Structure 1
């Protein structure tokens, strides 16, 4: 374990962030790395609990609690405390294929269930995880692992997001020949185009893709299965197919004026911004621009926050974020007890930037958008809202009611809809003939088999919109299932066995 009295003597230190106003001038990551000395102190706060709830990896109250890939958190915390970074890296990579991603963009359910967090701030698990993997790359400890033997089996994976890449990594190491199909012009899925550069710089994503290629994984880009190549052709050419397309169908806001010029899906906005940044540093003008506009983001989640940060960097005149729910409390309430994920108020990186620029929190709570209004040329000029009140009905269920007299008109030239995803896009599933339940591919967790022989499904395409760490979990687990299907047995680990 770390220092026996570590959590009593050492306070949690937050990640160092660049000045909010200064970082708005570029698209680089907003955080800066901790020093080895700070990381050692933070590792010392871990008590190696008898039951380490930090990696229970389960859902409680509809939210994830603990690490779904069951990272060996107490072990590598102790090794960092002792300065044994290479050994810490070895333990980290036993369970997590891509710590450089989770260490940057995972919401850290491990910290919410940290035992220290019962009465004190949690161990800085996420920051330590990122520090370990970054040091591994910096020191050249991470090198291509090329399988010595090949099985002769061929596997096609549709989608190059975290689930697709995790399954590709595992199956390639098992000796199979793996080909990943991606319809975009760069691999990485939402890691590449759905998460802005200031949260996850794209050379970090490309570095991992390059490593997978060196190890033998083939990526075929600009190729959409169902259009550029048929499902039948894949089934004929490969011994197994895994569908890891994610949950990319965005939830729409079907109200009056939705067709106005200036109303966009959040992911379309984020994707075009990142693609233009990577292609030409915005010189191609092939993106949705917020410059000089009054911007409203509808949706209070991470995607909405990413839209805020992007609009600020583009030079928006104003940015406002609408949320359906009331403001979260400053501390856990009696119905959100440890080890559940803490539903408490926080300022995300984007909100800190907006507050620094505008002098106040830009979030509006319990707001419902009623309609969009365009001018005679069809361009968006305003948005109408009403406040909502959250109450319980006669059955004890929460319902929202409009508050009379709270109608308001907001100037708006750009509205970004960030209210979640409905599931995977349906045409691909239908082309394979995969059974669809609740708009998702029907495939039992642990087996991942669909009704089509040799075709598996994993990640958000199977479970619906979720966390990157669950995608990695499912990518690892489906690899185990596919290897066993092809070979009759498997030496790959399951997540639960770790």
Structure 2
């Protein structure tokens, strides 16, 4: 769109911005998260980031310096707020003119559920969504810190979906009666139970978007912790939800007195209150980073005697060479990693790598953690050889060989709280998933719920869960519902505008344009 001069956007530039917004929403309608909080691995792997020693700029890309990646995250964030201000979302989130006698029941309300609801509603399918929590959004709502991502964006996304016709039921738990084939909805607040569907209904399809299960310590590790001390071992997601609830309450009532704030903290956190405690966070990924962020920013200013130890199972992240870019998997030291390390240092904490707990036992009123410290084979030789170290850094962690002879055990004593931030695993063991395994034609798993070693569908990040859900809807659910109408919105061509003038004067001479209709490609065609 060229360079904005004198802080004035021309009519032609507004047109290009709206065009860019339309293309973006067509690809992914929920861009608030990806613009605000996504770690943006796409930028890290962008081939535009290959350095140019001349340091020149590209007029075709708005004077962007050659050698810097396309700032996709910033672009999405800007487009989201521009579209939000200008009302551009309305054209995409509008109710279908043809409501079909087809229904989808979605269990869960996270990113995958939102994506499927959006595409189904555009098709004219009736969609009802059930969420166990008191707010929709899944991990977007509970798992991501409030200071990293404004929750009002999620509320706005659901308001748009409701305008399209979505029926959302919160505080509800869905179960399946394998004998009668009935789906039951239990209201968590009052305990009432209602039949909401039956597996014999050929006009209804059930989509399980129940997300991924937080990975827990094995029973072998925690067998030394009795029931009286189990509350000292905390799941990261539980802590994040409580912290987000506190942030939401403080935002709604900023004038709370110190006594009222203290009461709020105790009510929401209970035994998870991290103040003035020796805490061990086990994990080195995004979830662990978010935990550390809460602790360092919100609880440690008043922490006189607490300490923080971070145990990461993987090696310390390192920078990568130019050749470790797309299509290779990037293992760069991201901005998130750097920020985490800075915050751990700020609160006088420490991080250890290639460490994992083997035992957690009770010692008095506190915990003792036995940890195993590992080294990769030929560690000393590799550390002293720069070329060998560079090659080692390119090998994925799971493919590196550990030297069993150099494994050392240590103890961390007088621990008052352990936070398990070991990431997530597939939800194949969830009761509802297990109960409906035989219903191949009327039930579909989507997003992280469908991730497994067998399917190879583990999504890793939220935007991938959305993409997987879109693929599942277009290539499976639509067929099972019998949606073969070629005039359906999913099969309508996207109109792409191509300028035929040179980039140097594209806005001055933009009078002649070609509109080319390009059918949306089907994933099966590739």
Taking the aligned partners of 1:493 and 1:258, their CA distance within structure 2 comes to 53
Shift of 1:96: 0.5
CA distance in 1: counterparts of 2:85 and 2:128, whole angstroms: 28
Q: 1:245 maps to which residue?
A: 210
2:499 aligned with 1:486, yes or no?
A: no
The answer to whether 1:95 aligns with 2:27 is yes
Of the structure 1 ranges 455-464 and 341-350, higher mean CA displacement relative to structure 2 is found in: 341-350
1:374 aligned to 2:374?
A: no
Contact in 1 for aligned 2:35/2:74 (Cα 8 Å): yes
Cα distance in 2, alignment partners of residues 262 and 80 from structure 1: 60
| Structure number with higher helix proportion | 2
8 Å contact kept, 2:206–2:443: yes
Alignment of 1:162-311 (within 5 A): 162-226=111-175, 228=186, 233-235=197-199, 239-254=204-219, 255-256=221-222, 257-259=224-226, 260=229, 261-278=231-248, 283=264, 285-287=267-269, 288-311=272-295
1:252 is displaced (CA, Å) by 2.2
Secondary structure at the aligned position of 1:241 is classed as strand
| Structure whose alpha-carbon radius of gyration is higher | 2
CA distance in 1 between partners of 2:144 and 2:7 (Å): 26
Q: Deviations over 1:283-323 (max 9, x none)?
A: 16222211122222101100010111122212353323211
- Show structure 1 runs of 5+ residues with no match: 4-35, 41-78, 436-450
Gaps of 5+ in 2: 52-66, 176-184, 187-192, 252-260, 380-398, 452-457, 492-519
2:299 to 314, 317, 321: 314
What TM-score does the superposition give when structure 2 sets the normalisation length? 0.69
For residues 347-358 of structure 1, the aligned pairs below 5 Å read 347-348=335-336, 350-351=339-340, 354-355=343-344, 357-358=346-347
| 2-structure distance, mates of 1:81, 1:359 | 49
Change (3 A) 1:279 1:80: farther
- Larger mean Cα displacement after TM superposition, 275-284 or 153-162: 275-284
Please name the residue that 2:255 is paired with: none
Q: TM-score with structure 1 length normalisation?
A: 0.73
**Partner residue in 2 for 1:33:** none
Does the C-alpha gap of structure 1 residues 474 and 330 become closer, same or farther in structure 2, counting only changes over 3 Å? closer
Residue in 1 that maps onto 2:18: 86
Q: Could you say if the C-alpha distance between residues 37 and 419 of structure 1 is closer, same or farther in structure 2, counting changes exceeding 3 Å?
A: farther
Distance 1:185 1:304, change over 3 A: same
Deviations 1:406-461 (A, max 9, x none): 624354222111112231142111222x16xxxxxxxxxxxxxxx53221111111
Query: Could you tell me how far apart the structure 2 residues matched to 1:493 and 1:132 are?
Result: 23
Aligned residue number for residue 71 of structure 1: none
**Which deviates more from structure 2 when the two are superposed, residues 399-408 or residues 109-118?**
399-408
1:158 positional shift:
0.9
Residue 332 (structure 2) aligned to one of 341, 344, 364: 344
Provide the rounded CA distance (Å) in 1 between the counterparts of 2:314 and 2:434.
35
Aligned to 1:419: 422
Equivalenced residue count is: 408
Matched with 2:460 is 466
State whether residues 44 and 325 of structure 2, in contact with CA within 8 Å, keep that contact through their aligned partners in structure 1.
Answer: no
